[in-house]
Structure 1
Amino acid sequence: MRRRFAAVRGVLQGPRGPLGWVLLLVAVFALAQLGTVTGRDTPDTKNYLAYALSLRGEDKRETAAVVIDHACAGRAARARREQSVDVLKFDAPSPAARVAKKCRAELWREVDSRLRAGQTGGHTLPFLSARFMRIFEVRPGYPVFLVPFVTVLGATWGLWAAGVTVTAAGGVLVHLLLRTRRVPVHLALTGQALYYVLPCGTTAMRPMAEGLMLALTLAALWGCALALDGRRGAGIALAGGALAALFAVKHSQALFLGVGLAAAGALIAVRRWTRGRSPGGAVLGL
C-alpha cells in the first residue's frame, strides 16, 4: 500500500512539483460546473437514480417522487435555457413551470400504471418494459457510487457532485498516466485540461455511467503503465481492481477492455521475444 501511494506522489510531485497545478485545474473545472447544476440528465439518469435510492432503502413511491421531480426539474431547466437563446422568444414568460407540470403528469402516469399492473420488482422504476429495465438491474456499479452523494446532498446536488468527482478524477488520471510514460509536466497538464474541456469531459459530467467508466478505464491504463515502468505489483493490482470495478459498472465495457489489454500485452511480449529479449514479468502479468 505504501508503495502505491509513493508511486502516486512521485508521479504528481516530480521535479517541478506540479501538484498545485493539478489541483488548480480541478478547482477551476469544479467551479465552472456551477453554472449548470441541472439540465444534464439523460433518459438513463432516471434509472440510475432510482437504483441508488432503492439501495438506500426507499420504497417505490418515495423513489418515484424524488426521481420524477428531479427529471422534470431538468426538463424545465433545459426549456428555460433554450428559450433564453431563442431570439424570438427570449423575453417571453418562462416555460419552466408549464414544462415541469406536463412532465410530472406524463411520468407519473407511466410509472403509476405499471406499478398498479404489478411491475414492482428490481431496484429501478418501471419507466419502460420489464425486459428493458433489466439492462440496468445488472449494472450496480454506478448506483452504488451515487449512494453517498445523494444521501448527503440530495438528488440534484448529489448527482452534480458525483459528476464533478468522477470527471475531476478522470482528468487527474490522464495526468498520472502521461507522467508515468515520461511525458513532460506541461504536456501532462495540457492533457488533463483537454480532458475537462473536450466532449469526453462533457460526457463524464452527465449523470450516467459513462463518466465512471472513463475514469476506471483510465485507472486500468495507468496500472498498465506502472507495470511497464517496473512497478509491477502496484500496476497489476490497479489494473485488475479497475477492471473488476468496471465489470460492475458495465460488464461489456470491462470485457472489451480486458481483451484489448490482453492483446496489447501479447503483442508486446511477441515483439520482445522476436528481438531476443525477455517478455518481462509485467507484460506476462497483464
Structure 2
Amino acid sequence: MIAVAYVLLQLVGKPSLLPANDTYRYARASLELLGDSPEQAHRTALAAYCRDQANYEVRRIQLDPLALAQDKIPSVEQRAEACRTKWAQGLAPHHPRYERIFEVRPGFAVAAVPFVAALGADSGLLVTSVLFTVAGGLLAFALLRAAGVPAPFAAGGQAFYYACPIGWWGGFGLTEGPVLALAMGALLGAWWLLSRRLAAGTVLLSASLVTGTAVKYSGALLLAAALTAAAVVCLVLVRDTRHRGTVLLAALSGAVTAGIALLSAWYSLPGSGETLQDTFTQHYEYPDVATPWSLLAELNGHYWTQWSQEQARSPWLLAAITGGAWALFRHSRALGWIVVAAGATGVATEIAHPVAGQGDRLMVAVWVIAVIGLPLLLHQFAQSRVARVPTST
C-alpha cells in the first residue's frame, strides 16, 4: 500500500517536473535500441523534452500576476515549438567528451526500453525510475525485517525512503532511482552474508553490484569499495562477524572494485580526471584547466564551509543521519558499518563533484543511513518505554 501510494503521488505531481538534460540523452539511447536512427531518436527525444519544458514554463508563467493581467500567457505548443527550433541540432552540451559519459553507462537506457516503447520517451523513462524507486523502498523494508525490526517500524522505513530526497530524485527520469535501489539490494545481500545466508547473499550482492556497474559504473565502484572496507573493518573489530560470510563479502566487493577499475583502464572510460575537466570547463565549452585537483580542493573548501552554514540554520539532514547512525551501531555494529559505508558514498560523490546546484542530488545516498537507522531508533525507543512500565503484582 505504501508503494502504491508513492506511485499515485508521482502521477499527481508529474506536471510539476522540470525535464532534465540527462533524461533527453537516456531517451535518445533507448529509442536507438528500439531501432530508431540517431536522427529520428534525437527528434523524438527532443520533442518529449521540449513538451515537458513547455509545460513547466507555462505553469510558472500562469503564476505571474502581470502576465495574467496583460493576457500574455503563451500556449504550450508555442513554447514547445520554440524549444524544438532552438535545439534542432541537438540539446547542448554537444561536445563528444560529454556525450561519451552517457554512452558508457547504458544500463538505465536498456532497462527503460520496454517502457519507452509502450509509453513514449519521457513517460517511459519516468516509469522506469519510479519502479526502481518502489523496489528500493521494498528492499529497505526487507533489510529492516532481516535485521529483526518489527513490520510496522520496517514499513516506516519504507515510507521514509519514498518521502526523503531518495524518493524525490527517484521521481525523475534519471539514474538516481536505479542506483539507490541497487544499492539497497547490495546492502541486503551484504547483510545476508554477515548473517551467514551465503547463497542468497552472494547472488543478491553480486547481481546488484554488476547491474549497478552497467547503470553508473562510478557509483558502483564507490559502493563496492565502501562495502569492501566495511567488511574488513568487521573482520578486525566485530568478533561475531569473523566467519566465511564476511570473508565472502570482502572478496566479492573487492573483486567488483578491481573489476570496474580494470574495465575503466582497458576501455579508457571517463574517470575522475575527465569529470573534473567537465566540472571546471562548463561541459568542455572552455579549454581544459591545468590544475584540476588543486581547483577541486579549493572548491571543496568553499563548498563545505557554505554547506555547514546552511546546515546550521536547518540541521535536519545532520540530525537524521546522526540519529540513524547511532541507532544502527547500537543495534548491530556489523549493520552499522555496512549502512554507514553505503551512505558515505554520497559524501564521497559530493567531494568529487562539489556543484552547489546539484548538491542534494549528488549526496542523496547519505539518506540511506537515516532510512535504515531511524526506524531502528524508534523501535529502540519503543522497547525502552515498554521496559520502564512496571509490571503488576
Q: Judge same fold: TM > 0.5, yes or no.
A: yes
Identify if the C-alpha distance between structure 1 residues 97 and 194 changes in structure 2 by more than 3 Å, giving closer, same or farther. Answer: same
Residue in structure 2 matching 1:159, options 101, 125, 130 = 125
Q: Report the counterpart of residue 180 of structure 1 in structure 2.
A: 146
Residue in structure 2 matching 1:36, options 5, 8, 13 = 13
Mapped contact 2:139–2:188 kept (Cα < 8 A): yes
Task: Report deviation, 1:175.
Answer: 0.7
Deviates more, 1:154-163 or 1:66-75: 154-163
Secondary structure, counterpart of 1:207 in structure 2: coil
Measured on the aligned residues, the alpha-carbon RMSD in Å equals 1.9
> For the residues of structure 2 that align with 1:228 and 1:278, how far apart are their CA atoms?
6
Secondary structure, counterpart of 2:170 in structure 1: helix
The letter for the 2-side match of 1:174 is A
Provide TM-score, normalisation by structure 1: 0.80
- Aligned pair 1:261/2:227, yes or no? yes
Q: Report the counterpart of residue 82 of structure 2 in structure 1.
A: 102
Q: Report the counterpart of residue 226 of structure 1 in structure 2.
A: 192
Mapped contact 1:37–1:156 kept (Cα < 8 A): no
1:188-267 to 2 correspondences below 5 Å: 188-267=154-233
The letter for the 2-side match of 1:201 is G
Mapped contact 2:122–2:173 kept (Cα < 8 A): no
Secondary structure, counterpart of 1:37 in structure 2: helix
Residue in structure 2 matching 1:48, options 15, 22, 26 = 26
Q: Which has the higher contact order (CA 8 A, sep 6+)?
A: 1
Task: Report deviation, 1:86.
Answer: 3.6
Task: Report deviation, 1:71.
Answer: 0.5
Gaps of 5+ in 1: 1-23, 112-124
> For the residues of structure 2 that align with 1:33 and 1:41, how far apart are their CA atoms?
14
> For the residues of structure 2 that align with 1:218 and 1:256, how far apart are their CA atoms?
14
Mapped contact 1:26–1:168 kept (Cα < 8 A): yes
Q: Report the counterpart of residue 39 of structure 2 in structure 1.
A: 61
Task: Report deviation, 1:83.
Answer: 2.5
Mapped contact 2:194–2:241 kept (Cα < 8 A): no
Mapped contact 1:79–1:95 kept (Cα < 8 A): no
Mapped contact 2:130–2:172 kept (Cα < 8 A): no
Q: Report the counterpart of residue 282 of structure 1 in structure 2.
A: 245
Deviates more, 1:152-161 or 1:62-71: 152-161
Mapped contact 2:58–2:76 kept (Cα < 8 A): yes
> For the residues of structure 1 that align with 2:166 and 2:59, how far apart are their CA atoms?
22
> For the residues of structure 1 that align with 2:41 and 2:229, how far apart are their CA atoms?
43
Secondary structure, counterpart of 1:139 in structure 2: coil
Secondary structure, counterpart of 2:87 in structure 1: helix
